[in-house]
Amino acid sequence: MKISKFAIKHTGMPDQKTSNTSSDIKVPLFIKLPAKILEKVSPSLAAKFAARLFCTPFKFGMPEREYEMDQQSRQERLIVPGIGKEIVVYHYGKAAKKVLLVHGWSGRGTQLSVIADRLLQEGYSTVSFDAPAHGKATGKQTEMLEFIASCLFLTREFGPFEFGIGHSLGAMTLLQSMNRGAQFKKLVLIGSGNLVWDIMQDFTKKLGLKPITGIQMKRYFDEISGMDTQELSAELVAPGIDIPVMVIHDTDDEDVPVSAAHAIHAALPHGELMITSGLGHRKILGDPEVIAAAMTFLKK
């Protein structure tokens, strides 16, 4: 099946196998060497070392396109109950109808600024946030459960929200938040990750570590979280999301394979799928045709 640059699929299953996601973390070469040495000495220590790296986001400088949202938004620092960590919340616009924006790993609250600007034009205001250890928020480490706790906190404090729009880990966070009681009328998921197990295995592979280390890393996360972290996978919770959801993904996404989008879409009761090409994992957030399609979906 040939996929055009912008093709929206409302029904049907893809021909290719639908599985796998990959972490959107690029591992520097100077980190791989100590990881491999640790693995030879103690696979258990190597798994804990990998887990610490897995929970440590990179903080990148803010690009110029995000300056206006940063300067025009009202910002406040809040502590998320239950996890005791700081987030920085961005209130952008003054419209009564609000949309929650959730960035991905190593992102920040202004990362979806182009989408936010378009929402303001359409009569909505937005609420977004720097997740713990991201952007302007304090801290050095975090993980998905803290993203979810932050999202749930914001829905209680500043909801109700009309819609939720998430990128990468932020998309997974929105699905999990709905599963835990958050309410939205529609969701837009862009470049979403999918299976937690695959994400962890991909990360340890990028570190140059053996598959057994990935298994031990998952066991470590299961132990400290008190749950099977595979339950955080997008396609496993998607069947219970009983609202319209648009899944957008690019075939040239090098961080999360497009098969993740097909698997999530197949599991959603009311899903739409938009497949693009040539945009990758982040450029897709500012593409005019992608944003136009998302607005059409939200308004109809």
pTM as predicted: 0.89
Query: Where are the chain's structural domains?
Result: 1-54+185-300
Q: Give the sign of the dihedral formed by CA 148, CA 66, CA 22, CA 31.
A: negative
pLDDT of 49 over the 60 cut: yes
Direct distance between the N- and C-terminal alpha carbons of the chain, in angstroms, rounded to an integer: 28
Q: What percent of the chain has pLDDT over 70?
A: 90
Residue type, 228: D
CA torsion, ordered 25, 29, 35, 40, to nearest 10 deg: 140
* 8 Å CB contact between 172 and 193: yes
Q: What is the pLDDT of residue 28?
A: 60
Question: For the segment 107-157, what is each residue's pLDDT rounded down to a tens digit?
Answer: 999 999 999 999 999 999 999 999 999 999 999 999 999 999 999 999 999
- Strands ordered across the beta sheet of 186-190: 7-9, 271-276, 245-250, 186-190, 163-167, 98-102, 125-130, 85-92, 74-80
In sequence order, which residues have a C-beta less than 8 Å from that of residue 230 and are 6 or more positions away?
Answer: 195, 196, 197, 218, 236
Q: What is the pLDDT of residue 40?
A: 86
Instruction: Report d(CA 276, CA 287) in Å as an integer.
Output: 10
Q: Output DSSP code: residue 134.
A: S
Average pLDDT value for the chain = 90
Question: For the segment 243-299, what is each residue's pLDDT rounded down to a tens digit?
Answer: 999 999 999 999 999 999 999 999 999 999 999 999 999 999 999 999 999 999 999
